[in-house]
Amino acid sequence: QVQLQESGPGLVKPSQTLSLTCTVSGDSINNDDYYWNWIRQPPGKGLEWIGYIYYSGNTYHNPSLKSRVTISVDTSKNQFSLKLSSVTAADTAVYYCARYPGGIDAFDIWGLGTMVTVSS
C-alpha cells in the first residue's frame, strides 16, 4: 500500500523559505510511471496545484508562483521536497504531496497534508 507523508516546520517567518519533504513508502520514487506533486490549500479556500517532479529530476511548476518554487528529489531516501522562497501570509496553507500516475489524468494517492503558517 503506497503512502505519502509530508513533514516540515509548521511556522515560517515572512520573507524566509518554506521547506517541506514528502516521504514515499510502499513504492519506489524511481518508478518512471509517476510524477510527484505538491498541492496546497489556504484556509477557507480551494486547492492550488504547485508543481511536480519526475524521478529523473525534471520539474514543472505553476507559473503563478513565479520563480519562488524549487522541487527536488532524493531517490536514495525515497523523498521529494518543496522549497518556496520569500513567503508571505498568502502562503499560509495546508500543503499536500500527491502522486500523478500519468496513465490517467488524476492524483491517485495523497498525503494527509501539513499546515504551514507564515507569521512573525
Partner 1 sequence: QSALTQPASVSGSPGQSITISCSGTSSDVGDNDYVSWYQQRPGEIFKLMIYDVSNRPSGVSNRFSGSKSGNTASLTISGLQAEDEADYYCSSYTSSPTRWVFGTGTKVTVL
Among the listed residues 61, 53, 48, 38, the one whose alpha carbon sits nearest the alpha carbon of residue 113: 38
d(CA 79, CA 101): 17
Cβ atoms of 7 and 95 within 8 Å: the answer is no
Q: How many residues bind partner 1 (CB under 8 A)?
A: 20
Phi then psi for 54, rounded to 5 degrees? Answer: -100, 155
Name which position in 47, 55, 59, 83 contacts partner 1 (CB under 8 A).
47
Residue number, 11 or 112, with CB nearest to partner 1: 112
Examine residue 27 and tell whether it contacts partner 1 (CB under 8 A).
no
Examine residue 110 and tell whether it contacts partner 1 (CB under 8 A).
yes
Examine residue 20 and tell whether it contacts partner 1 (CB under 8 A).
no
Biggest CA–CA distance in the chain, Å, is 43
Question: In degrees, to the nearest 5, what angle opens at C-alpha 74 toward C-alphas 23 and 51?
Answer: 75
Name which position in 30, 60, 75, 115 contacts partner 1 (CB under 8 A).
60
Examine residue 98 and tell whether it contacts partner 1 (CB under 8 A).
yes
List of residues contacting partner 1 (CB under 8 A): 39, 46-49, 60, 62-64, 96, 98, 104-108, 110-113
